[in-house]
Structure 1
Amino acid sequence: MGQDYDPITPYSRSNVPKADKNILEFALNLEYLEAEFFLYGSTGKGLDHIQPGLAGGGPPPMGARMARLTPLLRNIITQFAFQEVGHLRAIKGKIGGGIPRPLMDLSSKSFAITISKAFGRPLIPPFDPYANDINYMLASYMIPYVGLTGYVGANPKLQSSTAKQLVAGLLGVESGQDAVLRTLLYNRGAEKVAPYGITVAEFTDRISGLRNKLGHAGLKDKGLIVPVTLGVEGKMPGNLLIADTDSLSYGRKPPEILRIVYGSGKEQVPGGFFPSGANGTIAKKYLKSSKY
């Protein structure tokens, strides 16, 4: 913790082709998002304190803060946080540098706006992701799964074995994080989120529904309780993991990811968690065509 990070030496040898670098640089946007949200939520301190220099000079996130968590959840989220630091270091090491951290909005207001979109109305009082265990888990539910689908979608596009091996390793841990969060929430699915009187399961269904809507690519997301026809093998409503009819993970392309994390439903229009847009060749390509 707090150890200086050498931004040059680990990057001196990279045999990853440019096309693969662009894909991995795009993934860094989501890894920055996860790292900062989990670090601040569990420790109250961000990447600049934990691993100085790893952010590549990008601005610190807006509005991030420590959450009111019980010891068990704080321990779990802290583990997630340091895993994300490792992901950033691994990607940057493989591609010989990488993009700087983009400006991110991790404020309570940003999450409240997303939740309001999910329900089609403002929740009163506004949803606060940092208020307690349930709220923080629901806010966390919004994040790793998006990165997971991005890695599934990216894998067929990769050319080098180095990049494929890296993405496989990243995908394994992202999937694990998502599974842990969904299991914790599933265990409390019937519990009502105070003060709204809405169950945890309905929150997950609404968030997943919003991501499907924003992504404009059909059904690639499901909450914890689904119609039996959408459950595993069409046999049960419990939906611990998100998967297709063959129990395989869904994949998303970069435009779908941007539509979701921007909260705009348009890859050319930044907002949401990335008020100035994501960084890197792929994300910037869409921003250049924007007239926002």
Structure 2
Amino acid sequence: MLHTDIDLPVAPALVEPPRERSRRSLVQRVGIGAMGTAIAGSIAGVVASSSAAEAAPPTDDDIFNFALNFEYLGAEYYLRALTGSGLAANLLTGTGTQGTVTGGSVVPWNGSAIEAFAQRLAIDEMAHVEFIRAATGTAAIAEPSIDLGTAWSVLARAAGLINASQTFNPFGDPISFLIGAYVIEDVCVTALAGAAALLTGPNNIAAAAGLLGTESYQAGAIRTLLSDLGAGQVTDAISALRAKLSGVADDIGTTISGNAYNIVPNDTNGLVFRRTPAQVLNIAYGGATSAPYGFFPNKVNGVITSNA
């Protein structure tokens, strides 16, 4: 449920680069669903790979399977927002423990043009799942357990957007849906950018570049739509939390130096931020050091699973 009377605090600024907050409050324009429950666990230190991968470098299949966890997350989010149901059963099997998806429902679109945008996101993410599963063959991981319910409230409260008595439902309306998409897509971009350095096969590197390109287009479009809505206060708070969980200043919201249309989170060289698998997982797990692990209650599937 949306609440239009919630005053969102201004998120703390990142050290680099300097940032300014948009004067147009998303709360004043459209409101935001309230969010609740405290973030689980403390923020763990981050390392370049999981403990399993430290003994031997991850294979290309390991890297693609790591990415597949997040393609599962995105596909389930977008499909449920549109249809109320997730991926087909034949796209859920594989190595590791097949989990279940909790939460998610059809967004009351009410004629919003954002619905057409969501359809494209769902089609692309489902195609990514199919592509990676085909590329990895019998090594493809099963879909892990995914939390599309309480995990949103955990993350949102940790970002300082709401209090303990409130909850956030990204399926409650089109704008809340965009906020949820903002949480997911930027992380996928930084994960794929970081994974590029770990791949060895030229064809695999080219495939990863294609995936990265699509996710980047999606993330830029999401940022633009939210900028149009004056959502800087919300996106900046989420980005500040992701940077805190990552352990370095590697995220920027949609406002920077007085410009409310920051469509790319990048460094001083104009390059998109890159994250190690452990940094990505620490964000997805909400910094948790014990179950439940954020959006992946039982951790992700595959070789690379640790955020510490």
TM-score, normalised to structure 2, is 0.75
- The answer as to 2:73 corresponding to 1:33 is yes
Q: Which residue of 2 aligns with 1:102?
A: 144
Residue 92 of structure 1 aligns to which amino acid in structure 2? R
- The answer as to 2:191 corresponding to 1:157 is no
**Secondary structure in structure 2 of the residue aligned to 1:176:** helix
- 1:70-93 deviations in Å (ceiling 9; x for gaps): 441111111111111110111111
Structure 1 residue 227: Cα displacement: 3.4
Q: Is contact 1:35–1:85 with CA below 8 Å preserved after alignment?
A: yes
- The answer as to 2:64 corresponding to 1:24 is yes
* Sequence identity (%): 33
Alpha-carbon distance between aligned partners in 2 of 1:142 and 1:121, rounded to the nearest angstrom: 16
Structure 1 residue 65: Cα displacement: 1.3
- The answer as to 2:63 corresponding to 1:63 is no
* Change beyond 3 A, Cα 1:212–1:269: farther
- The answer as to 2:208 corresponding to 1:167 is yes
- The answer as to 2:294 corresponding to 1:279 is no
Structure 1 residue 167: Cα displacement: 0.3
Q: Is contact 1:264–1:270 with CA below 8 Å preserved after alignment?
A: no
| 89-98 or 179-188, larger mean C-alpha shift | 89-98
Q: Is contact 1:215–1:265 with CA below 8 Å preserved after alignment?
A: no
- 1:263-286 deviations in Å (ceiling 9; x for gaps): 0265x7651101111100111xx3
Structure 1 residue 112: Cα displacement: 1.5
Q: Which residue of 1 aligns with 2:242?
A: 211
- The answer as to 2:275 corresponding to 1:244 is no
Q: Which residue of 2 aligns with 1:256?
A: 279
* Change beyond 3 A, Cα 1:18–1:112: closer
- Which structure exhibits the higher relative contact order, with contacts defined as CA atoms closer than 8 Å and separated by 6 or more residues? 2
Structure 1 residue 59: Cα displacement: 2.9
Residue 180 of structure 2 aligns to which amino acid in structure 1? A
Q: Which residue of 2 aligns with 1:77?
A: 118
Q: Which residue of 1 aligns with 2:218?
A: 177
Q: Is contact 1:106–1:273 with CA below 8 Å preserved after alignment?
A: yes
Residue 277 of structure 1 aligns to which amino acid in structure 2? K
Alpha-carbon distance between aligned partners in 2 of 1:78 and 1:237, rounded to the nearest angstrom: 26
- Structure in which a larger fraction of residues adopt helix: 1
Alpha-carbon distance between aligned partners in 2 of 1:269 and 1:150, rounded to the nearest angstrom: 22
**Secondary structure in structure 2 of the residue aligned to 1:282:** coil
Q: Is contact 1:43–1:78 with CA below 8 Å preserved after alignment?
A: no
Q: Is contact 1:153–1:252 with CA below 8 Å preserved after alignment?
A: yes
The alignment's C-alpha RMSD in Å is 2.1
TM-score, normalised to structure 1, is 0.79
Q: Is contact 2:224–2:261 with CA below 8 Å preserved after alignment?
A: no
